[in-house]
Chains A and B, each alone.
Chain A
Amino acid sequence: MKVLVPVKRVVDYNVKIRVKADGSGVETANVKMSMNPFDEIAVEEAVRLKEAGKATEIVVVSIGPAQAQETLRTALAMGADRAILVQTDVTTEPLAVAKVLKALVEKEAPGLVILGKQAIDDDCNQTGQMLAALLGWGQGTFASKIAAGDGKVAVTREIDGGLETVDLKLPAVVTADLRLNEPRYASLPNIMKAKKKPLETITSDSLGVDVTPRLKTLKVTEPPKRQAGIKVPDVATLVDKLKNEARVI
């Protein structure tokens, strides 16, 4: 079974982001970029499936600027076999990404697509569900466990009340939650090896997909700042403040 793993290049999760002064967006120039953490988990899961003999080939895909090649190289160093960059400088929305991925799935015919459940930049949490919809496949979102079987995959999902397990007919789409696995660090020899793995660059036009955004961003602003309060010396003072000042208990 071939596994397709889409990955996104995002502002590193440790970076304290800044809103642009003109309110047009968030500053991304000269900021450390990394693979979306949920996508790292997705790559790791695919690599584990391959190591367990359940997957035969792992193809990683990114849709974004030329620099997304670095993100793809990271995935190759983790153990993916081959990479495709769909190069565009447009800020792509989840629906556009899902359409590009659908076109690629039709070409590559994977048995399973694993994505991160959300990107930590736009926090949309949409792409996997949209891809599953466009393909007419089943979806297992927010996965904390994947068990691939014969013609189906059992996905344990993190839901509001706890955990839920669903069986999906293959092919299917799964989105990774935090506790699916702990992604490995790529070793130096694997980073060197990754440089020689195939990375193909294509355009969204060549796939016949229109990636023009549908939503118009009117403005981006800073959230209201919360002021630090006071330090209290002991538990008794804390309880007194909560009772008599804040009046919340």
Chain B
Amino acid sequence: MPILILADHDNVTLKPATAHAVTAAGKLGSDVHVLVAGRNAAPAAEQAAKLAGVAKVLLADDAAYEHALAEPVTALLVSLAPGYSHILAAATSVGKNVLPRVAALLDVAMISDITAVVSADSFERPIYAGNAIATVQSADTVKVITVRTTAFEAAAITGNAPVESVAAVADPALSSFVSAELSKSERPELTSARIVISGGRGMQSGDNFPLLEAIADKLGAAVGASRAAVDAGFVPNDYQVGQTGKIVAPDLYVAVGISGAIQHLAGMKDSKIIVAINKDEEAPIFQVADYGLVADLFKALPELQQAL
């Protein structure tokens, strides 16, 4: 039986996370279908059709799906589920919101945030903020899974799958969209950037984040933050890297004024190269850093910007 992936998109653009889920699905050894549920979402569907390994794109175009509300999208997925062995989504805020609801209605266990496919019924997933890796096996008829995007490469854009329309199903009308306040940035998205530079409590204030941004712009990097910096109101929540924020694994991660709490390490320790800049030489971040610089960040950051 084929595998169904719920696409993450904003109707116009397919989120890169979906391309990573396609790669994970490819390891299961069946045809991969991608469901794009949205409103006027043909552009997103066209992009999904270009992902290598996708056999078919299902496009459900209806006002009810415009904002990916959990209840209507779940109803649609549950109606499609009987034809599929696995239902996947990237572990984004959409996937995490929708898939447990689907699993419960199908009366199956759900497997969150897989980092490896062992076989069609067995998967590795991190537990305890990534301090242990569990291998779990599911005997359920349909396996409902979210995929940690950093653990799988993005599928190439070499495909040419057909796009097929599917009918919307009745909207349970339990919730309605009110508004969204999205961060606007010219920089790359945190979860798909090749370089990430993050600030922590040591930044002292949101007013000091331009120091990081100036370097980010020189490197083409995304800007992130620790939970401490977000909690202190320096930057918005969508900057947060960590166990409960975003999971990133860029080629280069630069942690500035971040002590390195377990919860933060959980979100970035799979980065290829880690740089830590912190004035406290005992900070735990140095235990995972490839290159550590013990320095006052207010002196080091302008120097770094000059040197690049």
Contacts and interface: CB of A to CB of B under 8 A. Distances in A.
Interface of A: 11, 13, 16-17, 19, 26, 38, 93-95, 98, 117-118, 120-134, 136-142, 144, 154, 157-169, 172, 177-179, 213-223, 226, 228-232, 234-236, 238-239, 241-242, 246, 248-249
B300 interface: yes
A214 B128 contact: no
The residue in B100, B174, B246, B275 that gathers the most chain A C-beta atoms within 10 A of its C-beta is B100
Contacts of A138: 71, 172, 174-175
Interface in B77-114: 92-94, 96-105, 107-113
A137 B174 contact: yes
Contacts of B103: 95, 126, 130
A140 B262 CA distance: 27
Interface string B211-245: 00000000100000001001100001110000110
Nearest to A219: B135
Contacts of A218: 122, 135-137
B6 interface: no
A159 B93 contact: yes
B134 A220 contact: yes
B15 to A, nearest CB: 8
Interface in B98-156: 98-105, 107-113, 122, 126-140
Nearest to B281: A231
Given A129-B97, A166-B69, A216 B136 contact: yes
B118 to A, nearest CB: 8
18 contacts: A95-B104, A95-B110, A123-B112, A123-B128, A125-B96, A134-B105, A138-B174, A140-B175, A159-B94, A164-B180, A168-B174, A177-B244, A217-B134, A219-B134, A221-B132, A226-B287, A232-B292, A248-B273
Given A142-B97, A249-B252, 6 more contacts: A132-B101, A218-B137, A220-B134, A230-B292, A235-B293, A246-B273
B135 A123 contact: no
B167 interface: no
Contact of A139 (B97, B113, B132, B236): B97
Interface in B11-45: 15
A123 B93 CA distance: 14
Contacts of B137: 215-218
B67 interface: yes
B237 A214 contact: no
B138 A241 contact: no
Q: Which of A123, A218, A219 counts the most chain B CB atoms within 10 A?
A: A123
Given A126-B103, A214-B139, A162 B175 contact: no
A184 to B, nearest CB: 16
Contacts of A127: 100
A123 B129 contact: yes
B220 to A, nearest CB: 10
B288 A226 contact: yes
Contacts of A162: 180-183, 236-238
B70 interface: yes
A23 B72 CA distance: 41
B308 interface: yes
B289 interface: yes
A157 to B, nearest CB: 8
Contacts of A216: 136-139
Contact of B70 (A17, A141, A179): A141
Contact of A164 (B135, B179, B227): B179
A214 B175 contact: no
B178 interface: yes
Contacts of A221: 132-133, 135
Nearest to A124: B112
B41 to A, nearest CB: 16
A236 B94 CA distance: 42
A67 B300 CA distance: 50
A141 B99 CA distance: 12
The 4 residue pairs across chains A and B that have the minimum distance between CB atoms: A138-B174, A129-B100, A229-B290, A130-B104
